Amino acid sequence: MTKETTDNTFASEVLNAKIPVLVDFWAPWCGPCRQLSPIIDEIAKELTGKIEVYKCNVDDNPETPSKFGVRGIPSLMIFKDGKLVDSKVGALPRASLNEWIAKNL
C-alpha cells in the first residue's frame, strides 16, 4: 500500500493526487525511520481510499525534501489539493500518529 515517490514523480503523485497524501521522508541509515516504517505501512493499509501514503528516500531524492524544508528525519507531511497542510518530525507513537492524521483528513 505504501509507494515510493522521487524528485521526478513527486508533483504528479503527491501534488496532483485526488485524495490527501501522507509522505514519509526517510533514509535507510535512520534508526527512528526504520522503527516508524511498519507503522506507516499499517496506516497505509488501514486508510486505503482515504489517504495515499508515499515514502521518499532523502538520500536518493535531495530536491523534494529541500523544497519542503525537511531538516530532520523521519519527517511526515500531509498534502491536500497540492498544498502542504501539516508536518511532524520524529518517530511518533502510533496513537499520536493516528490522531494527527485524522485531524488533517
State yes or no: pLDDT of 1 exceeds 90.
Answer: no
Domain span holding position 84: 3-104
What average pLDDT does range 82-93 have in this prediction?
95
What average pLDDT does range 34-44 have in this prediction?
95
Q: What's the domain count of the chain? A: 1
Torsion angle, alpha carbons of 86, 12, 43, 39, to 10: -80
Write the DSSP string, the chain: --EE--TTTHIIIIIT-SS-EEEEEE-TT-HHHHHHHHHHHHHHHHTTTT-EEEEEETTT--HHHHHTT--SSSEEEEEETTEEEEEEES---HHHHHHHHHHH-
CATH of the domain at 15: 3.40.30.10
- The pLDDT tens digits for 49-87 are 999 999 999 999 999 999 999 999 999 999 999 999 999
Q: What angle do CA 19, 79, 105 make, to 5 degrees?
A: 60
Please report which confidence band the pLDDT of residue 90 belongs to, taking 50, 70 and 90 as the band edges: very high
Residue 23 confidence (pLDDT): 98
Q: Residues of the chain with pLDDT > 70: what percent?
A: 100
Task: Kindly list the catalytic residues.
Answer: 30, 33
Q: Is the dihedral angle over the CA atoms 83, 87, 93, 95 positive or is it negative?
A: negative
- Please give the mean pLDDT across all residues of the chain: 96
